[in-house]
Structure 1
Amino acid sequence: MSVAEILAIIQLHPREFMGIFKSGKFDPRLLESDLRQIREYYFLKGFFDAEVTLERQEFSQELTQLRLVISIDEGPRYQIGQVEFDFTETPLFTSEELREVMTVDHGSEWDGEQIKNDAEAIRQLFSDNAFIDATVNPTVIYPLEGNDVTLKYVISQGSKVSVGEIDIRGNRSTKDEVIRRQLEIYPGEEFRPSQIQDSLSNLYRLQYFNQIRPYFDSSGAAGDRPVVFELSEGSTGRALFGVGYSTSTGILGNIAIEKKNFDIQDWPTSLSDLPGSFTGAGQRLILEAQPGTEYSRYRLQFFEPYLSGSDNSLKVSAFRSVLLRSNYTEDRNSAGITLGRLFDREEKLRGEIGFRVEGVTVENISSTAPSVITDSAGKTPVNALDFRFDWDRRVFRPDVGAVNGWNFESTYSRSGGFLGGDLDINKVDLSYGWFKTVFQETDEMRHVFAFKTSLGYAHDYDDTDFIPIFERYFLGGPRSLRGFDYRGAGPTEDGVEIGGTVRHYGSLDYTWPLLENSMRGTVFADFGNLSEDINNFEFDEYRLGVGGGVILYVPLFGQRLPISITWTEAILKQDSDETREFSFDLGWVLR
């Protein structure tokens, strides 16, 4: 064992940096504790014969300093000669199946930490098959001679456990059915802890609850365990009045009402009943007005995820946005209705088909504007069908968001043709995200790695011979490619961004808690490319931005105000790109 390893596990240390980091004070009780800790550490690592003693104590002449000399006789490190399994009942798994989840085997050096982890992996294997009371105890059998020991796992698998009655508690406003349809466990089924975790993820995804605590009720017959979900409801309504700022879109006013657990049938019976009304059915309502100096938007949206208690959904929306650019103004008005269906609750497979009607006006065009802008001038009616498929296997935790799993989303939009309107184009958008908890201190205090990528392609047909400026893809800014200005990466004409018809971008992100979950650190690498034509999409034109920053969540009027501060260096860029190292975003974003 190295000296650094030993110093890392003891409490007594020399004085460092004027005693600020380590005081250097001697405590006889800590000395005894450290000697014991060193012996236990050596035993844990397989040095069963190690001897650790205090050889001597040397005082300085002034009697102000003490030098401790610890003698360590490591002895041999024992190896695992063979692995045995001792079952107290007829085994559910063979020895070969158990070895598949283990990391140590015969020939491995003894490592108590790995052996403990293997014991937990074996126990989890039984638990995932409804033997949740299974116990796995590793023991060591010493040889009469030599350094090869026998590792024996004594396994008591117990009896299978089934789910009894499921009780929901603490839901003062949310209807039982809204909660139960998110659960992955059902009475009478074999109990599996993984289904509890999936249920928690589904409930946290709703963002209705501050805390969720599942546990067994003490009542119930043997082998039949009632399960309780104890909930603490959070605020599901937000009335936001404020001002936000983004380096990509300028100053934004914000007047918004968002109700995530809306109930359109829960009308108040009196004025005093108003604060608790319209709550509990799991619907979503958004009323938003966001006027800004460069970009403004206004939105009304109602979403019913389980129409009449079925797996069908309904979304109705109206939208207006105004984009002010130096060379033109884009004014978009839109209304639409979308029907969807949840095909598989466990796999979270959802499909949607929507119809929207839009009117897009491009005006205030400067005399030096590129041809793609001048050719898009005037008002263009757009009628479109949107087909969307979503497969979401992410695991969510409060405040952190997605912590494990993946999601895939595809959208096909067809405008014009038999639908009418003046625009005939097809658009295909694909996106994928993968999330992994690398390390966790608690269930919410997690270090999370994320990979995200998105691909989009637009193509004209019939009477349309080009993609207008308002249907093109753009690249750059905090939502697509950090390190570059908003729409600052991609094709240009006379120094003006003209967008493209093919876009690919993605990111690698690592985030971790700095101050519980009120502040998270982030390091990232963003990459992407945008081309005016698919035949001119060149891999050597990819952009790359690398950076880091912090995300703050500041309590304000009962809500959490997100503030994102990042610094990004554009490592790969093109001559026409506009870069931005510093990015600051303040304000709520309603998606």
Structure 2
Amino acid sequence: MGTVHAKAQENFTDVQDIQKNTFRDDSEKEQIKEIDLEGVKARVDRINIDGLSRTRNDIVEDCIKELFKAKDFQEVLLKAHRARVKLDELGCFKNISIFVDTSKGPKSTPDGLEVTFNVKEYKRITGGVSTHIGNNEGALLIGMRAPNLFGRGERVQVEYSHGSKKTSNFNVAFVKPLRGKHRPTITTSMFQSQSEWPTSGYKQLERGLLFDIGFYSTPWLKHNIQWEANIRDLSVLTRTASFDVRKESGLSLKSALKHILSLDLRDDIIFPSEGSLFQLTSEVAGLGGDVGFLKNEFFLQENYAILEDIVLQGCFSAGYMANLNKNMKVSIPDKYFLGGPLSIRGFEMRGVGPHSDGDALGSMAFWAAGLHLFTPLPFRPGKGGFGDLFRTHFFMNAGNIGNFQLAKNSNLLDNLKKNLRISYGLGVALRLGNMARLEVNYCFPYIFDKGDQIHPGIQFGIGVHFL
């Protein structure tokens, strides 16, 4: 590997232009010819890696070797893109570019290509201060990382964050990517997390260990198998906290095994115009400690482009949990909550469902759905520039939460429809880079229970995952 007969970048064709099916003639740069890439025979004769220093050859070869199996030009581009994704997942490089040229040399073939990856490795120690946005909260993040410790993508990272809602997190992790077509990665970490939940009347201090194995069973289907053990200290936030919250105060020990299955086929994570997102999470707690339950939750999002820049989005989420052992408990932090600008809009955070003296207690099951229409701003101000960061947003949310029973003599469908909550509204959504989006909506709670905490009128939401 290393630098092998590297050519000047002017002699290469940028893979981004090729993916757009365009060819730029050097003699007439303004002329752009469209080329149909399907059926164009091609093969990769040679792959060059320019910029390697500390990174070992074997881990890089494992990421790019599939390129040699390409049989046509379109397949070369797809496998080159996948190779770039794999190289980026190693965490060794901060900049990766791809260039494609015709193969030249004594061993070149008539349809041969030469692919060059230009990479720039991270320094031995990196760090900085940044901001993080999510779950309707902003946070200051201080981090330090030692990437590519032994030349095969190993890294140690230390992070501390302090949120605007009196949350703080400290995490020390070791990450090790492994070789193989399933792109496995092992992560071990120690963490401490402190959070306050005024809507439920409690605060929590959590210390624990996490072991995670992540891999892909297909190019897009990702699995994460996790084992987590933590000690949690739950205490009341104010003197007026309800008795139901007070009786759960104290220390608890949780040991849980979790499987996360995710499939993301969207063309954008903030404002997708097409594609699907699916996530299924299964968790079993009770492998030790005094907390025990079985918990399953899934989320589905579908996006359809009706017209240019007009997108219809549908979301559905549901979850169910059950106590595995009467001698083990299911505490408030483990339960489901609904309501707020990121779930059922028009309600306060955790405002849907059972309350005790104003404190949200959570439930063992829920379902929620959302229907959204995103359009450009009226009259398209700032089109092609700043105005493209905004979308007009129309929405309708529905859902229900409760301790539904799956017994044979109970009608689950009737329980799910009972005490249905519905809200609708309109507003404006703003893209905040590739980090999150901001929503400002005017909400109309339409159907709600007398015990719910509604939020009619203007409501702000900021995050990545919205219902």
Superposition TM-score, scaled by structure 2 size: 0.69
Matched, 1:334 2:204: no
Kindly state the Cα deviation for residue 172 of structure 1 after the two structures are TM-superposed. Answer: 8.3
1:578 aligned residue (449, 454, 459): 454
Q: Report if the CA contact (8 A) 1:481-1:545 is conserved.
A: no
The AA in structure 2 aligned to 1:193 is Q
C-alpha separation between the residues in 2 aligned to 1:485 and 1:262? 42
Q: Report if the CA contact (8 A) 1:284-1:302 is conserved.
A: yes
C-alpha RMSD of the superposition: 4.4
Matched, 1:475 2:338: yes
The AA in structure 2 aligned to 1:551 is L
2:244 aligned residue (348, 372, 382): 372
- Taking the TM superposition and a 5 Å limit, the aligned residue runs for 1:364-513 are 364=236, 369-390=241-262, 392-394=263-265, 404-416=274-286, 419-435=287-303, 450-464=313-327, 467-509=330-372
1:297 aligned residue (145, 148, 168): 168
Q: Report if the CA contact (8 A) 2:208-2:231 is conserved.
A: no
Matched, 1:566 2:455: no
Higher relative contact order (CA 8 A, sep 6+): 2
Larger Rg: 1
Kindly state the Cα deviation for residue 295 of structure 1 after the two structures are TM-superposed. Answer: 3.7
| Map of 2:142 onto structure 1 | 256
The AA in structure 2 aligned to 1:484 is F
Matched, 1:312 2:184: yes
- What secondary structure does 1:537 align onto? helix
The AA in structure 2 aligned to 1:410 is L
Kindly state the Cα deviation for residue 256 of structure 1 after the two structures are TM-superposed. Answer: 2.3
Corresponding residue pairs, total: 404
Once the two structures are superposed, residues 79-104 of structure 1 have per-residue CA deviations (whole angstroms, 9 ceiling, x without a partner) of: xxxxxxxxxxxxxxxxxxxxxxxxxx
Long gaps (5+) in structure 2: 1-33, 377-382, 406-414
1:321 aligned residue (194, 197, 200): 194
More displaced 10-residue stretch of structure 1: 162-171 or 351-360? 162-171
| Map of 1:548 onto structure 2 | 427
Superposition TM-score, scaled by structure 1 size: 0.56
Q: Report if the CA contact (8 A) 1:327-1:364 is conserved.
A: no
C-alpha separation between the residues in 1 aligned to 2:304 and 2:99? 23
Kindly state the Cα deviation for residue 425 of structure 1 after the two structures are TM-superposed. Answer: 1.2
C-alpha separation between the residues in 1 aligned to 2:45 and 2:159? 42
Kindly state the Cα deviation for residue 427 of structure 1 after the two structures are TM-superposed. Answer: 1.0
Q: Report if the CA contact (8 A) 1:212-1:232 is conserved.
A: no
Long gaps (5+) in structure 1: 1-119, 133-159, 267-279, 441-445, 555-559
- Taking the TM superposition and a 5 Å limit, the aligned residue runs for 1:204-243 are 212=97, 214-217=99-102, 219=104, 220-229=108-117, 239-240=128-129
| Map of 1:538 onto structure 2 | 417
C-alpha separation between the residues in 1 aligned to 2:237 and 2:259? 33
Kindly state the Cα deviation for residue 282 of structure 1 after the two structures are TM-superposed. Answer: 7.7
Q: Report if the CA contact (8 A) 1:301-1:315 is conserved.
A: no
| Map of 1:275 onto structure 2 | none
Q: Report if the CA contact (8 A) 1:298-1:319 is conserved.
A: yes
Q: Report if the CA contact (8 A) 1:382-1:421 is conserved.
A: yes
Once the two structures are superposed, residues 265-320 of structure 1 have per-residue CA deviations (whole angstroms, 9 ceiling, x without a partner) of: 47xxxxxxxxxxxxx9385845022144x440303153636236684321223131
Measured at CA, do residues 525 and 204 of structure 1 come closer, stay the same or move farther in structure 2, by a change above 3 Å? Answer: farther
- What secondary structure does 2:167 align onto? strand
C-alpha separation between the residues in 2 aligned to 1:312 and 1:367? 48
Measured at CA, do residues 468 and 401 of structure 1 come closer, stay the same or move farther in structure 2, by a change above 3 Å? Answer: same
Measured at CA, do residues 563 and 404 of structure 1 come closer, stay the same or move farther in structure 2, by a change above 3 Å? Answer: closer
